[in-house]
Structure 1
């Protein structure tokens, strides 16, 4: 784990990259901040988490770090021990954690709950949606640390790296660590309600677009040509043919749309 800091004092803001070793976009954003060394209005902690997995360009060494929190110092896995160290490092910090995905090119945010902090910060980020995932938060970083996660774009793409830099600077501006203004966006909010599992097969297909409602009775995916039909309407999130080993993605419900404030006359 690599830890650095912008500014002096005790940070209450942190940026984390490299939770997964096959998602380098956030690391690029952290490295650019360290190269640029912008003047900050409040100190910021910068963390590159799973250096061993990044070096091998694999998602993890022993287990998924983002399912291993809070971890223990005597864990039998690399990630179990690292999770414990990372929680100690981030204690007391509002944390911004960057990821990438194989399912959706446009950035979106993931939160453990639609808190006032989330409602304030996430609409200031250049994202297309906010996903509340408290039903599936066990073992994730935000189960232990106050965290806003972002999916920056398609895994391994240059666009994801560029988005990670843009998202990080928007976050730091929103929390008053960098000077400047943000643009507040109208933002749809979704809640994950179910896992969409897939059986063992040679080929997988997905017929639907993430965040676009699937009607009851519509086919949405197939394994070896065997179609899966929606029992009821849902919004697909993180749906892709091969993003996860045993699931297509998640079913979500749409909660609300966070409106942009109306300027006073």
Structure 2
């Protein structure tokens, strides 16, 4: 784990990258910020988490870091020990955690719940949606630390790296670390309701777009050519053929749209 700071004093804001070793977009954004060393209005802590996995270019060494919080300092696995150290390092900080995905090119935010902080900050980020994890957050950093996660784009792509930089700077501006103003936008909010399982097969297909409603009775995926049909309508989230081993992704419901403040006359 690598930890750096810009600005003097005790940080209440942190940026986290490299939770998964096959998601380098956030690391590039953090390294760029460290190279530039901009003048800040309040201190910020910058953390690159799973350096071992990043060096090997694998998602994790022993187990998924973002599924084992709060961790254990005496655990046998690298990620559980690292999770414990991260919780200690990030305690007291609102943390902005950057990820990427195999399922969706446009950035979106993930939160444990739509509290005042999420409702205020997420519409100021260049994201297309906000997803509330509710009952699917077990073992994630957000269960221990006040966290806003962002999916920056397609894993390993140049656009994800560019998005990570834009997202990080928008967040740091919104919380008063960087000077300037942000642009608020209307933001749809979704809540995860279920996982979408997939049976063992050689080939998988997904027929639907994430965040676009799937109507009851519509085919949405297939395993070895055998179609799966929606029992009821849902919104797919993080759905892809090969992004996860045992599931296609998640089903969600649409809660509301957070509207940006009306411009003054």
Q: Match of 1:149?
A: 149
- Aligned-CA RMSD value: 0.5
For residues 55-114 of structure 1, what are the alpha-carbon distances to aligned partners after superposition, in whole Å with 9 as ceiling and x for unaligned? 000000000000010001111110000000000000000000000000000000000000
Q: Match of 2:117?
A: 117
1:171 corresponds to 2:151: no
Q: Match of 2:34?
A: 34
Give the match's secondary structure for 1:31: helix
4+ long deviations beyond 4 Å: none
Q: Match of 1:133?
A: 133
How much has 1:222 moved relative to structure 2? 0.3
Question: 2:202, 2:85 → 1: CA distance?
Answer: 39
**Structure 1 runs not aligned, ≥5 long:** none
Question: 1:189, 1:4 → 2: CA distance?
Answer: 33
How much has 1:139 moved relative to structure 2? 0.2
Question: 1:25, 1:263 → 2: CA distance?
Answer: 34
Q: Match of 1:184?
A: 184
Q: Match of 2:214?
A: 214
Question: 1:81, 1:125 → 2: CA distance?
Answer: 32
For residues 199-230 of structure 1, what are the alpha-carbon distances to aligned partners after superposition, in whole Å with 9 as ceiling and x for unaligned? 11000000000000000000000000011000
How much has 1:261 moved relative to structure 2? 0.9
Task: Give the number of equivalent residue pairs.
Answer: 265
Question: 2:262, 2:255 → 1: CA distance?
Answer: 21
For residues 216-265 of structure 1, what are the alpha-carbon distances to aligned partners after superposition, in whole Å with 9 as ceiling and x for unaligned? 00000000001100000000000000000110000000000001112344
For residues 7-38 of structure 1, what are the alpha-carbon distances to aligned partners after superposition, in whole Å with 9 as ceiling and x for unaligned? 00000000000000000000000000000001
- Written as runs of structure 1 = structure 2, the 5 A alignment for 1:8-157 is 8-157=8-157
Structure 2 length-normalised TM: 0.99
Structure 1 length-normalised TM: 0.99
Question: 1:186, 1:109 → 2: CA distance?
Answer: 13
Question: 1:147, 1:43 → 2: CA distance?
Answer: 17
1:4 corresponds to 2:17: no
Give the match's secondary structure for 2:145: coil
Question: 1:68, 1:139 → 2: CA distance?
Answer: 5
Q: Match of 1:248?
A: 248
